[in-house]
Amino acid sequence: VGVTCNSAVSLNTEPFDVVIMDECSQCLEPLALVPLCKAKAGRMVAVGDPQQLPPTLSSQSGESQGLEKTMFLRLANAGADPVMLRTQYRCHPSISHISNSLFYGGRLQDGAAVVDRPP
């Protein structure tokens, strides 16, 4: 079953074996709890990019109470052992070079398909 965190509230299903949360670095903690409550034993795979811009929180009171934190950040702070995917397929090497040097310490590689694309 594939759902967004918002629509998981209305699911009337058996608990999931595992929750796979994509864009977890964009998902605020309270919203991430919705699908996690439907997971057996709270098992989840979190997928995200901690170098991405954080989500927007339009409430200053929410920010002052720590609600701006993402589930990805909480997991990182709790000692979760991340795995970095090192090959990018999104943009031409002349473009990826900028973010690779600024944010990823030169650890990203360009996939073969993007090398052939025009910049």
| Collapsed DSSP state (helix, strand, coil) of residue 95 | helix
What percentage of the chain exceeds 90 in pLDDT?
A: 23
- What percent of the chain clears pLDDT 70, i.e. is strictly above it? 98
Element (H, E) at 87: strand 87-88
pLDDT at 93: 92
Read off the pLDDT of residues 85-98 as tens digits, 9 standing for 90 and up: 999 998 889 999 99
Per-residue pLDDT for 110 more than 90?
A: yes
* pLDDT one-digit tens code per residue, 46-97: 898 988 888 877 777 777 777 778 888 888 899 988 899 999 998 889 999 9
Q: All domains of the chain, ordered by start, with CATH?
A: 1-83 (3.40.50.300), 84-119 (no CATH)
